[in-house]
Amino acid sequence: MPGSIRESHGVRTPARAECATRGVCCSSAGGVEPCMPGGRTFRASVFAILLVAMLLPPGLIGHPAFAAPDTETGQQRIDGEPLVPGTLAIVRGDGDCLRVRDTPGLAGTRIDCIPDGGILTVLPNTAEVDGYRWQFTSYRQTTGWVADEFLEPYNGPPPTDGCSAASTIQPGFTGAAPAGGGFGLVVWGGGTTGGIQTLALSQGCQLRAVWGNSPSGGLVGYTFGAPDFVNRNWLEAFPGGSISAGTPLMLVCQPPGSTIASISSVPLPVPTRSAPRFSGSTPAPEIDARAAVIIDEASGAVLFDHNAYEAVPPASLTKIVTAVIALEAADPESWVHVADVDYRQMPGSSVVGLVPGDCFRLRDLVYGLMLPSGNDAALAIARYQAGSDASFVHLMNTLVTRIGLSSSHFTDPHGLGSSEHVMSAYDVAMVSRYAMTLPMFRQVVAARSWTASGDRDLSMLNVNSFASQYAGGDGVKTGFTEEAGRTLSASATRDGHRLYVVLLNAPDRYGDARALLDWAFANHAWE
């Protein structure tokens, strides 16, 4: 189109130079200037946007600055008629994104950058400033001014995204669990039988049983604490224990003061075989960690213990608990609209790169939580799942109680919190053991990389290099804060036997983990 920006093989044409100096567009690949991620979710109706735009003076619609404003003026020709308010337009930037400003003109603060091909809504009001005609527009959650030279009318179907088509059923229960005992009807927001347990217990309901509609028809029930053959119909109706969103459930809760069948007296999962016996003569290696433990997966037996029950800061090993709740108490395929999490407000923190308006599936956020150890992903998961950080922390503390652990206390979903945020090495190992019973969790922590595909793509790498460097390594998480030091929960499998080693405040966590696992595999025999 006339005046469009072009560049080939690194040679900047006059149009490209004009783009770079005037700041109308910014390159997503050419290095002109870093661009704010273009992902925003949610599209209001055209009529609602028009109404708001007419009622509010454009100058009052402000947003946080992204970069310093450009101040040079232009000598552009303004051709053609303005776009029609209420219609759609598409960005034609030849691979570049189009800057959105809070006021018309190059001095306006840049608040977003719409990707090439992005579709926006034309709102009333235009202004001719600095040689450009500026059009007031709306793109997802952002309203602002753009140079209409880089817009064309769009007559195709209205754009959609995952969040706009997301289920209206929220995570957790719609309806309340009967905390005083008895029966209660709720609608489940999606997740597993374990997630139902955790949610119910967090509301004061000690579950005796749960009944739900089978996808094939009929009512099936699950009795907590009973063997699998008793719950066969439930397990067949819901393979893997996954119950879809929108399923009506009848909760049967214990009366207060009665025996608690829904809280395990032995840390879950239930042992499936006897403990391995020590068969060697070599003593365990010396380590520098403040606390450490080795756990056998099948039996839950402790094979090595160094201050294993001392509660200390775990740093990002906390996120194992966060991931379990995300995968058990919600549908991993559900779309999450990121409303109030911004990685740019978290300097010095490990992040995946979320900004307000992003839209990703919950499973992508779990990858972002576990691979790059995204603290922004932890907050997004918590607020989606429970509505607030505090409510999610309550679920975290409930989960460790439910699976039979007593040396953990959480104050946040990511592990950066106060001195009251603690776990023991034993608790970390047993939470890791429990988490690895979840197929998606195993898949996540074993991945070396992942690309999240939502309203934009986010690529991430697994910072836990031990899992790929140690023979048989297959999980789970690293952590670090100044207070906690270097922490690690690692799993490894040899000859069908999986062990977990946890090290807290370990200056040489990988070296200690390697030495301990080598010793444990070499000096124990499984019957």
Note the Cα 309 to chain centre separation in Å. Answer: 29
Tokens 């807290």 appear where? 504
Token duo for residue 444: 């996540």
Main-chain phi, psi angles of 153, to 5 degrees: -60, 140
Note the Cα 339 to chain centre separation in Å. Answer: 13
How far apart CA 150 and CA 154 sit, in angstroms, is: 12
Main-chain phi, psi angles of 410, to 5 degrees: -115, 150
Main-chain phi, psi angles of 217, to 5 degrees: 105, 145
Catalytic residue among 202, 242, 319, 407: 319
Whether residue 334 lies in the annotated active site: no
**Cα separations (Å) of 435 from 12, 269, 394, 438?**
53, 9, 18, 6
Give ∠ CA 253-321-362 in degrees, rounded to 5. Answer: 90
Catalytic residue among 28, 316, 334, 491: 316
Token duo for residue 91: 């960005």
Q: State the amino acid at position 518 in one-letter form.
A: D
Residues comprising the chain, all counted = 527
- Listed in sequence order, the residues at least 6 apart from 27 whose beta carbon sits closer than 8 Å to its beta carbon are 7, 19, 20, 33, 35, 95, 96
Catalytic residue among 264, 350, 373, 424: 373
Instruction: Note whether 505 and 312 are within 8 A (CB).
Output: yes
How many CA atoms lie within 13 Å of 16's alpha carbon, on the beta-carbon side?
17
Whether residue 279 lies in the annotated active site: no
Whether residue 373 lies in the annotated active site: yes
Residues carrying an active site annotation: 316, 319, 373
